[in-house]
């Protein structure tokens, strides 16, 4: 049963909140107060959404590009740290080798294969400068000079291909010791994967 009794008067000093029964549309004195912002609400258009998608797509592309670049640098750094001393011949010859070639009677150039840069450079130097030196391989060279020379042969991308002996202070004993060290530090008979290594097979496969 609905009571016909009128609502009680509000307490003194208070403003009655309009009810559905007392609110009259258009009555500003009796309208509910709006406590939100007075700024107009912007509607998101399809053009705005498309712009946001493009910006987000560009951000994702740039993030992927930087990540790919970082991975490439890491891979390049990892690869470039590889030297030739102590590495299997079957692997080091792939990135640190020179061609063995001869000229025919008609002037044609014949390429017979490839050999390690250390062997080519040191072998040629010793052939030209050490055939008459006593104790070439028996007497060790300077520790500092040999360390510097080994660094030249171990450093990419040339791995010693651009060495000019005439402009460098190395002696026959320095070069001979480095040549011998390269051979003695090479894994004997096997590659890093345990596969038997046939040097002559590598030579003729080039």
- Residue of 69, 80, 113, 126 whose CA lies nearest to 201: 113
- Give the whole-angstrom CA distance, residue 19 versus residue 17: 6
58-85 b/e with 16+ CB inside 10 Å = b?
Answer: eeeeeeeeeeeeeeeeeeeeeeeeebbb
Contact 171, 126 (CB under 8 A): no
- Residue of 114, 118, 120, 90 whose CA lies nearest to 100: 114
**97: phi then psi, degrees, rounded to nearest 5:** -145, 160
pLDDT of 91-126, one tens digit each? 999 999 999 888 888 888 888 889 999 999 999 999
Q: pLDDT-based confidence at 24, cuts 50/70/90?
A: low
- Give the whole-angstrom CA distance, residue 31 versus residue 29: 6
| Residue with more model confidence, 75 or 142 | 142
* Res. 178: pLDDT tops 70: yes
The pTM score is 0.54
């Amino acid at each position: 049963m609905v009571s016909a009794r009128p609502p009680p008067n509000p307490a003194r000093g208070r403003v009655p909140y309009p009810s559905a029964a007392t609110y009259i549309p258009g009555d500003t004195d009796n309208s509910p107060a709006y406590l939100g912002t007075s700024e107009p609400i912007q509607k998101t258009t399809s053009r705005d959404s498309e712009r946001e998608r493009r910006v987000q797509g560009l951000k994702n592309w740039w993030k992927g590009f930087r990540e790919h670049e970082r991975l490439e640098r890491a891979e390049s750094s990892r690869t470039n740290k590889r030297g030739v001393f102590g590495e299997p011949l079957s692997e080091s010859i792939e990135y640190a080798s020179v061609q063995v070639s001869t000229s025919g009677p008609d002037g044609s150039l014949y390429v017979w294969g490839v050999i390690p840069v250390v062997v080519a450079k040191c072998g040629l130097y010793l052939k030209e400068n050490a055939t008459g030196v006593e104790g070439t391989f028996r007497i060790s060279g300077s520790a500092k000079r040999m360390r510097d020379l080994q660094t030249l042969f171990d450093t990419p991308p040339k791995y010693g291909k651009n060495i000019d002996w005439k402009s460098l202070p190395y002696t026959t004993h320095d070069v001979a010791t480095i040549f011998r060290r390269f051979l003695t530090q090479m894994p004997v008979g096997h590659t890093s994967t345990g596969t038997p290594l046939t040097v002559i097979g590598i030579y003729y496969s080039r």
